[in-house]
Amino acid sequence: MAVTGLGGEIIAFTYPALIKIGDNDTLPTVQGGDRNPPSVFKNDNKSSSPNALALLTDGLGLTSSLSIGRQEAGAQITGPTIITAADRSGHTSGKLLDVKGGGVYIEDQLTVQNGNTPITPGGTDVNKICGTTCLNTITVANNSTFQSNLSVIGTSTFDGQTTHCGGICVNGNTSITGNLTVDGTINATCDITAFFTSDKRLKNNIIKIDDSNNVINSLNGYTYDWDEKSGKTGEGVGVIAQEVKELIPSAVRENKDGYLSVDYIKLIPYLIEEVKSLNNRIKTLEGK
């Protein structure tokens, strides 16, 4: 007599792995049939079949926190979830949780923090969030790199050095303790309040400016219209970077696109010295 089913076979040789659902029936492909919510429900993130998730139970019928479906249907974990590795040195850095082939949506707070032991033995790990990220609040307790857009609706706190290579939209208060590097343009519709480090204790070779008259007389102020390549519209007022570079090279920087930018803060000391020089000339003339 021929053996059918699992008769005469070791179950481990027949299936690589098995799971048990509440009624020992097969996993459904769609919500409905003999099993309805809450035991079987639709995965709202999957439109086509299979998209049904079945709540797993134990041998006594007690429900677990895990609901799974057939391959491609997905899974759901209900409740706080902890992913940990007892020996972090045995794992590829940044690969303890790897999400491929889709985006990540976080409805509430995201906290990214490295532990006291680096993932890379002997190294310093950096938190990286790549892609378009939308969060209500974000707390990052170490260095962070955002390689695309970041949208934060609530409060943001960065306690390390932050490098941003894409657009950033923050609709709440943001506190950054450390350096912020933005490889792009920062546009603000409200005031920008900033303090420029100028402590004498941080400077060497301090020399008083004595050629302010030559610099100021050689610079020109202009009004102009921005062209399409600038990414700006309307009329502008300012100086020409090429002219400034000939007089104060340190006040001009070449951007990665090859265009020149001017650090207007570095023009202020020359203006201060020139105003003082003019005041002295006026006093001399008035004394005659």
CA dihedral 26, 28, 32, 36 (to 10 degrees): 70
For residue range 20-53, list pLDDT tens digits in order: 665 566 777 777 655 666 788 889 888 888 888 8
Q: What's the rounded mean pLDDT across residues 252-264?
A: 92
155: tokens are: 């409060």
99 or 121: which leads in pLDDT? 99
The DSSP annotation for 182-245 comes to: ESS----SS---------GGG--S------HHHHHHH---EEEE--GGGT--SEEEE--HHHHH
For residue range 56-111, list pLDDT tens digits in order: 877 677 888 998 888 888 899 998 888 877 666 667 766 777 888 777 777 777 77
For residue range 172-207, list pLDDT tens digits in order: 677 777 777 777 777 778 888 888 889 999 999 999
Cis, peptide link before residue 118, omega less than 30° from 0: no
Which one, of 206, 141, 208, lies nearest residue 178 by Cα?
141
Q: How far apart are CA 5 and CA 13, in angstroms?
A: 13
Predicted pLDDT at 3: 46
Q: How far apart are CA 273 and CA 189, in angstroms?
A: 33
Q: How does DSSP classify residue 108?
A: S
Within 13 A of 85's CA, how many CA atoms are on the CB side?
15
